[in-house]
Amino acid sequence: MSVQGEYARALENLIARVRLSSRSERDEWLSSLEAARVERHPDLSSAAARAREALEVIGERLERDAGDADAPDPGWMRDAHAHLLAHCRAILGDASGPAPDSV
């Protein structure tokens, strides 16, 4: 599968997980992730940059909730987040290395 296809698949996976979420931020997260679809941008890099902005916000909240056993959607949301973030970093040439294990 192409880089664009892998990115799109990872994005749609996270969108699907957020849709199933009971989080109060659900609608806001969905809006920002849907805005990162490739067809809404002139190129893959623009889409990935938009996704990375959304992932920063989502990641901060997931990080805060990481130790809370009562937090909604614990592991499966973090896994999908980390997967998409890794694709964004690869596309954008982010020098910060692989996605952290904690997110």
pLDDT digit of tens for each residue in the chain (103 aa)? Answer: 799 999 999 999 999 999 998 888 999 999 999 999 999 999 999 999 999 999 999 999 888 887 776 666 657 788 999 999 999 999 999 655 454 443 4
Please indicate, yes or no, if residue 101 is contained in any of the structural domains: no
pLDDT of residue 103: 40
Residue 27 belongs to a domain: yes
Q: Is the pTM of this model over 0.75?
A: yes
The answer as to whether 10 is a domain residue is: yes
Is residue 60 a part of any domain in this protein?
A: yes
Asked if the structure places residue 30 within a domain, the reply is yes
Tell me which residue range forms the domain holding 31.
Answer: 3-92
- Name the 3-class secondary structure at 34: helix
Looking at the 3D structure of the chain, how many domains does it have?
Answer: 1
Residue 102 lies in a domain: no
How far apart, in Å, do the first and last CA atoms of the chain sit? 25
Token pair recorded at residue 52: 């990375």
Q: Cβ atoms within 10 A of the Cβ of 6, count?
A: 15
pLDDT value at residue 9: 97
| pLDDT value at residue 71 | 67
Q: How far apart are CA 4 and CA 22, in angstroms?
A: 29
Tell me whether residue 103 is in a domain: no
